[in-house]
Structure 1
Amino acid sequence: MRRDEFAMKDPHEVEDFLNGMSFGFLGTTDEAGIPRVTPLNFAYVNGAFYFHGSRMGEKMEHLRRTPAVCFTVADEYALIPSYFSDPEMACPATAFFKSVTAVGEVILVDDLEEKALAMEALMKKLQPEGGYRTIDASDRAYIPRLKGVAVIKLAPQRMSAKFKFGQNLKPEQLNSVVEELECRGKHRDEETAELMCKYHPVPR
């Protein structure tokens, strides 16, 4: 990562972020080497990403041919206008966000226990209120469904996290942006201001 001040190296922060997200973008390549990005739901369990879907289709063809992939999860917190820190120049305009990018090779999961673990983790994201029968590999009702669904596992060979919240700002610029966010009061502005103060290397 070019800007090391934005790198998030705390594994607990990264895991909390991934566990709070349900959607990401999987990068694959076709037979001609042309990249393709697929938006899809995911679960993050024991240091690995899991995806599910049909055993057929373009995505699966790409993965069988070239298992090397890139997967990215991102969450934008706030747009930061240039005038928050500079009354004239456009250059400071930016966005504050969290993102994680993982690179590695995928495998198709065959073990029903692992499939059930991944699918149950995904259901807890998609339907945290419950209201469904727990996915269990020993449940006769689920066995044929677990056998039929394709579950893909990505154990990252390399993973980086970028949490950009103004860590590069001087203290006076930080204070200016925080005050503007608190005044603006849009959705997530207060949360963004708190994260700016949390992650900035110099206390406010």
Structure 2
Amino acid sequence: MADEMGTPYVLPMNFGYEDGVIYLHSAQDGRSIRMLEKNPRICVTFCSDPELIRQHPDVACSYRMRAGSVICEGVVHFEENFDEKVKALNIIMRQYVDKDFTYSVPAVNNVKIWRVTIESVGAKEFGIMRPGSISYKDRVEA
């Protein structure tokens, strides 16, 4: 997101995804809400667990990261319908646990649900594992 001066603002958030829509949740107000009320355009990025690849241990520029990323652009719409907010909360929770939840009325009423319909998406996988390379995971476990 960006403020009215064009200054970017990044906020790590939990999310859910279903049918081309990203769901996010936050407090009812704050810096991000004020920005999005003026400019609802948003960019959301996801990154897989990175691995450090070292091709030559004595050459700094031979170290690489192996990972994947996705960048989605769209417009935020704030969901106000109670039942749709519950649906969005369930989608978000499903991203992290395989369990059904119930929500109190105050909890649903006091959460801001962001519904981001994806307009464009790009993905990239980077870093090639070469024979003899040592991943960050292998290095940490050694």
The aligned residue for residue 149 of structure 1 is 111
2:9 to 30, 36, 60: 36
1:73 is displaced (CA, Å) by: 0.9
Return 5+ residue gaps in structure 2 as ranges: none
2:138 to 185, 188, 197: 185
1:129 is displaced (CA, Å) by: 6.1
The aligned residue for residue 125 of structure 2 is 163
The AA in structure 2 aligned to 1:118 is A
Flag as ranges the 4+ runs of structure 1 deviating above 6 A: none
Q: What's the TM-score once normalised by structure 2's chain length?
A: 0.82
Size of the aligned set, in residue pairs, is: 140
Please say if 1:48 is aligned against 2:18.
Answer: no
Identity of aligned residues (%): 24
Paired residues of 2:40 and 2:77 also in contact (CA < 8 A): yes
The AA in structure 2 aligned to 1:54 is A
Q: What's the TM-score once normalised by structure 1's chain length?
A: 0.59
* Aligned mates of 1:178, 1:121 — CA distance in 2: 40
* Aligned mates of 2:108, 2:69 — CA distance in 1: 31
2:68 to 90, 98, 109: 98
Paired residues of 1:108 and 1:153 also in contact (CA < 8 A): yes
* Aligned mates of 1:41, 1:129 — CA distance in 2: 15
Higher helix share: 1
The AA in structure 1 aligned to 2:64 is T
Return 5+ residue gaps in structure 1 as ranges: 1-27, 136-140, 167-173, 189-204
The AA in structure 2 aligned to 1:70 is C
The aligned residue for residue 121 of structure 1 is 91
Q: CA RMSD in A?
A: 2.6
Structure 1 or 2, whichever has the larger Rg, is: 1
The aligned residue for residue 101 of structure 2 is 134
1:42 is displaced (CA, Å) by: 0.9
The aligned residue for residue 13 of structure 1 is none
Larger relative contact order (Cα-Cα within 8 Å, sequence gap ≥ 6): 2
The 1:187/1:120 distance shift into structure 2, 3 A limit, reads farther
SS at match of 1:29: coil
